[in-house]
Amino acid sequence: GQNIDQPTEMTATEGAIVQINCTYQTSGFNGLFWYQQHAGEAPTFLSYNVLDGLEEKGRFSSFLSRSKGYSYLLLKELQMKDSASYLCAVMDSNYQLIWGAGTKLIIKP
């Protein structure tokens, strides 16, 4: 079956760096997506990786290793507003998104 695994919850300190991991087993691969979802709000698109390596976008970076079925989202200089759930999703061979359950990130002062 298809599976996306990510930690349920993580805690980090304001100003620090945090890495949220995502491992996947899917039928084919057509890209990996990260979304941010604040409590009670809609998910919003953060990043897309289809080739191996690091994609940087401001304080957020996303890494992909297709051979390992692994990705991470790196958040630097954490701010209180980064408290949210982070959803990992993989597009399979049928161009359908398979979603992880999300990682709830708690930022402490």
Partner 1 sequence: DVKVTQSSRYLVKRTGEKVFLECVQDMDHENMFWYRQDPGLGLRLIYFSYDVKMKEKGDIPEGYSVSREKKERFSLILESASTNQTSMYLCASSFPGTENTGELFFGEGSRLTVL
Residue from the set 15, 45, 52, 65 that interacts with partner 1 by CB under 8 A: 45
Which is closer to partner 1, CB of 33 or CB of 78?
Answer: 33
4 binds partner 1 (CB under 8 A): yes
93 binds partner 1 (CB under 8 A): no
105 binds partner 1 (CB under 8 A): no
Burial of 45-65, coded b for 16+ CB within 10 Å and e otherwise, reads ebbebeeeeeeeeeebbbbbe
Which is closer to partner 1, CB of 48 or CB of 70?
Answer: 48
Reduced to 3 states (helix: H, G, I; strand: E, B; else coil), residue 106 is strand
- The minimum distance between CB 47 and partner 1, in angstroms, equals 10
User: How many Å apart are CA 16 and CA 18, to the nearest integer?
Assistant: 7
